[in-house]
């Protein structure tokens, strides 16, 4: 009888343990795009950094990564719940923060990802500034609503005065980065300028067929975040530890880029194979941009103030921290 009771007790104890042991991992779906700017997320995927830092917080998480082209598609995916976290331009994030204020769908920044300068190049031999672009010279960028567009508007306002931010907008055409590169290298008759991002900037400039006529640093008066990670209030409230997890994962990946650009280059080309650029060239490029990656956010308030001034935001944040989660408030910004 005693043996039967002990066996029954053991079976009962097992039924208490087994459900916990059989719990499925919690998925986190992360939206990413194309280009070197997303390299910290490529590294996080390769090295399972989100899983690593989630485990340190007592979470059993598995991360998956989905590609999108452009901030608009990323924004829709985050709002619909197709992805939990999206990495995209700060301007689109600010718009969603504004439009969905005080609702579960309000989007908040979680972390910066990349602050590489966006570079406006031109293949006109005599072009030195935006003043040298004629009215028929088309300006290519990846989307009509993009970080490049806001940078162009800010540059135009600084150059031509308030109310003139759209002076160059009629000349803008949306072209994928590879097509813009081809336009610069071929010397086409219509597209004479291209607002580029790495590694496409380096490809064009290395060819000697184009020169820099402006950068996003001209627009912001310094560094600005090109890509940031954002998520809805609903997701962040339900997963309060994930913001800190993502910040740590991004920072470890960014440290790898600085300390071991050769490994970072291999991971980049594994995630994004290219016929235009090889491993040695990516490594050399990464060595020139050691401070472009990390969770710090830059230029958020400058951009928000500009967007409010031109009617892009109805509610301008009083400070950039209003737009980012508390875990990110230790980063530098302006």
Residues 315 and 242 in one domain: yes
Tell me, yes or no, whether 5 lies in a domain: no
How far is residue 282's CA from residue 268's CA, in Å, rounded to a whole number? 8
Query: Rounded to the nearest 5°, which phi and psi values hold at 233?
Result: -60, -40
Residues 229 and 109 in one domain: yes
Q: Does an H or E element contain 268, and which?
A: helix 261-271
* Cβ atoms of 40 and 34 closer than 8 Å: no
Residues 324 and 281 in one domain: yes
How far is residue 304's CA from residue 317's CA, in Å, rounded to a whole number? 7
- Residue 130 CA: distances (Å) to CA of 45, 140, 188, 212: 40, 14, 18, 10
Tell me, yes or no, whether 89 lies in a domain: yes
How many C-beta atoms lie closer than 10 Å to residue 111's C-beta?
29
pLDDT at 6: 44
Q: Which of residues 11 and 86 earns the better pLDDT score?
A: 86
Residues 6+ apart with CB under 8 A from 73: none
Helix, strand or coil, per DSSP, at residue 323: coil
pLDDT at 91: 93
pLDDT value at 2 more than 50 = no
Q: Provide the CATH number for the domain around residue 205.
A: 3.40.190.10
Query: Rounded to the nearest 5°, which phi and psi values hold at 298?
Result: -130, 145
Residue that terminates a domain, selected from 220, 250, 268: 220
Mean pLDDT to the nearest integer, 241-257? 97
Residue that terminates a domain, selected from 183, 203, 220: 220
pLDDT at 331: 67
Tell me, yes or no, whether 258 lies in a domain: yes
Mean pLDDT to the nearest integer, 175-204? 91
pLDDT tens per residue across span 319-331: 999 999 988 887 6
pLDDT tens per residue across span 273-306: 988 889 999 999 999 998 999 999 999 999 999 9
pLDDT at 144: 84
Helix, strand or coil, per DSSP, at residue 31: strand
Tell me, yes or no, whether 9 lies in a domain: no
Peptide bond into 199 cis (omega under 30): yes
pLDDT tens per residue across span 29-44: 999 998 899 999 999 9
Mean pLDDT to the nearest integer, 17-38? 76
Residues 277 and 317 in one domain: yes
pLDDT tens per residue across span 64-110: 999 988 788 898 999 999 999 999 999 999 999 999 999 999 999 99
Tell me, yes or no, whether 155 lies in a domain: yes
How far is residue 99's CA from residue 209's CA, in Å, rounded to a whole number? 42
pLDDT at 34: 87
Residues 108 and 255 in one domain: yes
Domain residues for the domain of 176 are: 119-220
Q: Tokens 């042991």 — which residue?
A: 21
Residues 301 and 255 in one domain: yes
Tell me, yes or no, whether 15 lies in a domain: no
pLDDT tens per residue across span 176-185: 888 999 999 9
Please provide the average confidence, as pLDDT, over all residues in the chain.
90
Tokens of 60: 């059993």
Bridge pairing between strands 85-88 and 61-67: unpaired
């Amino acid at each position: 009888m005693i043996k039967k009771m002990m066996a029954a007790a053991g079976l009962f104890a097992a039924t208490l343990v087994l459900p916990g042991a059989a719990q499925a991992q919690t998925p986190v779906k992360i939206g990413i795009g194309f280009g070197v700017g997303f390299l910290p997320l490529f590294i996080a995927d390769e090295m399972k950094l989100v899983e690593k830092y989630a485990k340190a917080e007592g979470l059993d998480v598995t991360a998956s990564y989905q590609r999108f082209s452009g901030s608009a598609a990323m924004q829709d995916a985050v709002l619909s719940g197709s992805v939990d976290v999206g990495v995209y331009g700060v301007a689109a994030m600010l718009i969603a923060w504004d439009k969905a204020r005080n609702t579960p769908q309000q989007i908040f920044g979680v972390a910066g990802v990349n602050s590489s300068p966006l570079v406006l190049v031109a293949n006109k031999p005599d072009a030195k500034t935006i003043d040298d672009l004629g009215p028929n010279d088309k300006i290519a960028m990846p989307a009509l609503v993009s970080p490049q567009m806001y940078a162009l508007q800010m540059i135009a306002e600084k150059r031509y005065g308030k109310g003139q931010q759209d002076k160059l907008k009629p000349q803008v055409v949306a072209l994928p980065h590879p097509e813009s590169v081809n336009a610069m290298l071929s010397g086409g008759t219509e597209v004479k300028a291209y607002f580029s991002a790495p590694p496409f900037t380096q490809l064009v400039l290395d060819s000697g067929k184009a020169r820099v006529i402006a950068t996003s640093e001209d627009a912001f008066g310094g560094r600005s975040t090109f890509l940031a990670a954002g998520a809805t209030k609903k997701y962040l409230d339900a997963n309060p530890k994930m913001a800190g997890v993502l910040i740590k994962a991004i920072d470890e990946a960014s440290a790898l880029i600085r300390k071991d650009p050769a490994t970072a280059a291999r991971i980049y080309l594994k995630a994004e194979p290219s016929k235009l650029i090889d491993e040695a060239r990516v490594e050399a490029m990464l060595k020139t941009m050691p401070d472009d990656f990390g969770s710090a956010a830059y230029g958020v308030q400058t951009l928000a103030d500009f967007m409010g001034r031109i009617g892009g935001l109805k509610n301008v944040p009083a400070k950039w921290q209003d737009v980012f989660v508390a875990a990110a408030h230790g980063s530098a910004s302006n």
